[in-house]
Structure formats: structure tokens, C-alpha cells
Amino acid sequence: MKQRRLTRNRGRSRTATRHQCPSAIRPRLRDCSRVGLSAFGVQDDHRRQGYSVSVTRTVLVIPCFNEAQRLQPEPMLEFLDARADVHFVLVDDGSADATLSALRELAALRPTQCHVLANPHNVGKAESVRRGMLVARQSAPRYVGYWDCDLATPLAELRRFEQLLDEQPKLLVVTGARVKLLGRAIRRNELRHYLGRVFATLASMTLGLAVYDTQCGAKLFRAGPVVDTLFDRPFLSDWIFDVEILARLVAHHRQHGDADPRDVVRELPLQRWEDVPGSKVRLSSALRSALDLVRIYRRYLR
């Protein structure tokens, strides 16, 4: 008799488990614009929805500001269809055009892979990326990163970033490098290219690191405590926060002795990159970037 009762109880337990946890099988990503942005509020929403952590390999933050004309939903949708283990956090930074509507339409087509975050007013790319990264890590992915919404770096390149992190477990950061090499399709405005080389030299001198391209808009990080510290507080610079991320990593290494940037960061030469018309970067931003380098040095490196 005892054996029969045990068997019945086990059967009930299995049935209860199946009916209590359906949401753990299918992740639910919801439009979070009503939350404003409290990272903890977003986290609570995910918990209430039973947000799945087992199927999410990579989460990409895609910041957008007045990008309704440049947004390319078709390649994004095709990529998501091919990569069920990749999710997007689509951040609208208080756009004055139809960007937010376009992002919501895109998310409605792939609700299990797209999460829309709407800043109530413009806070800049750096803070939009930071807020998106705080949301992205709540789903406990293996990798988190950010990618420019104009897809100047094709999404197909993501696989190479992931492979490099897979092959070298000590790496924490892989950043794209727009290097013109034979056999690569790198198409940059010549003036911006040479100005970029001058800036990269100054950034390398400031950081004490031999960095070729700090400003490429494609970066991927291994999720974990060290990377969390890189995004746990607002950036000084909205223009060159990519440099500030590396400066924070240098400061972390000096303080704790681990995560030497020379060992944990790799630049990956891109196969394809193309200037997309409509960029908001102007020559006037060069002076601001130089001033921000000084501020970054004083805060983290001296």
C-alpha cells in the first residue's frame, strides 16, 4: 500500500511541476517603458513573468535616438529568426520622431526576443547603453553587449565575437576594430578615418594600452561581476564612454590585481563595416572628446 501511495504522489508531483512552470520554457520580454527605468523594477517584472535564463546565450543592447529613418527591421528580424538564443534590448532615448513606435512594432513581431526600453527624455547614448546593460544582465545570459542600430557592423559578425569568447575563457571583452585589410570590406569616410586614427593614438596614450579602435559600436562582454562594475554607475563622458569603460577596467586592475586589460580585452578586426549616412557624430565633437579624455584620465588613471 505504501508503495502505491508513493507512486501516486510522484505522479502528482510531476503533473504539478509541468503546470506550475510553463513560463520557464518560453521567455517573455515585455515593453518596459512604463517602468521608466529603475533597474530593480525591471528585474521584478522579469521575475513575475518567469523570464527564462536557460535559453539566452547573448543579449545585445541597441540604443536608438531619432533613428526612424535609419532603422532596419528586416535584417534584425532575419537575424533573430536564425538565432533563437539571442535577445535584443531596444533602447529609445527620448526620440522626437517615430523611433519608439518602430521599436515597439519590431518587438511585437518577436516578443520573446525583444525588450523595449523607453527613456522618458534624452539622456545620451552612454546612459542609454548603461541602462540597457543593467536590464540585459537580469536574464543571466552568458554574454552581453551593445551594437549600433544602423548595423554598420552587420549582425552576422556577432558569431565571431562569441566564438572568440568561447575559445578564450579568460577574455572578458571583445571589441570590433575597423581595420582596412585585404579581403575585408571596411568602408569609412576618409576624413573621419584619419581623425579617428589621431583620437585612437591619444586614447592609447591616456589608457596606457595599445588600442587601435576604441569607438567601434560593436562590443561584447562576458557577463559577470567584473563586467558589472563597468556599468554600475553613470559615465562621465557621453561621447567617448567606450574609452571610459577601458579606463574603469584599468582602475579595477590597479585596485584588485585581477582582470589586466592586456589579458582580458581583445580587438577583433571586422570582416565588414560600412559608414551609414545620417551619423550624429560631427567634427565639432572632436574638441569635446579631447576634453573628456582629460576628465577620464583625472578620474580613473592618474
In this prediction, residue 189 carries a pLDDT of: 86
CB 121 within 8 A of CB 94: yes
**269 has a pLDDT exceeding 90:** yes
| CA angle in degrees (0–180, nearest 5) for 100-105-111 | 110
Q: Which residues contact 124 (CB under 8 A, 6 or more apart)?
A: 93, 238
CB 206 within 8 A of CB 293: yes
In this prediction, residue 192 carries a pLDDT of: 84
For the stretch 248-261, pLDDT in tens is: 999 999 999 999 99
**68 has a pLDDT exceeding 90:** yes
Q: How confident is the model at residue 280 (pLDDT cuts 50, 70, 90)?
A: low
Most confident residue range from 34-48, 167-181, 276-290: 167-181
For the stretch 159-209, pLDDT in tens is: 999 999 999 999 999 999 999 999 999 998 888 888 889 999 999 999 999
CB 155 within 8 A of CB 81: no
Most confident residue range from 51-55, 212-216, 279-283: 212-216
For the stretch 76-101, pLDDT in tens is: 999 999 999 999 999 999 999 999 99
**3 has a pLDDT exceeding 50:** no
Strand partners, 115: 89
104 closest CA partner among 145, 71, 153: 71
Q: How many CA atoms lie within 13 A of 29 on its CB side?
A: 26
- Weakest-pLDDT range from 39-53, 65-79, 119-133, 184-198: 39-53
**9 has a pLDDT exceeding 60:** no
Q: Which residues contact 122 (CB under 8 A, 6 or more apart)?
A: 65, 93, 94, 95
Cell numbers for 293:
579624455
In this prediction, residue 281 carries a pLDDT of: 61
Please tell me the pTM assigned to this model.
Answer: 0.82
Percent of the chain exceeding pLDDT 70 equals 80
Q: Which residues contact 211 (CB under 8 A, 6 or more apart)?
A: 200, 203, 204, 246, 267
In this prediction, residue 213 carries a pLDDT of: 96
In this prediction, residue 53 carries a pLDDT of: 39
CB 76 within 8 A of CB 102: no
Q: How confident is the model at residue 17 (pLDDT cuts 50, 70, 90)?
A: very low
In this prediction, residue 283 carries a pLDDT of: 63
Q: How confident is the model at residue 276 (pLDDT cuts 50, 70, 90)?
A: confident
In this prediction, residue 47 carries a pLDDT of: 36
CB 125 within 8 A of CB 93: yes
Look up residue 65 and give its DSSP letter. S
Q: Which domains does the chain have, with CATH numbers?
A: 26-151 (3.90.550.10), 152-302 (no CATH)
In this prediction, residue 282 carries a pLDDT of: 64
83 closest CA partner among 110, 108, 43, 64: 110
Cell numbers for 217:
559600436
| CA angle in degrees (0–180, nearest 5) for 56-62-66 | 155
Say whether 91 sits in a helix, a strand or coil.
strand
Q: How confident is the model at residue 279 (pLDDT cuts 50, 70, 90)?
A: low
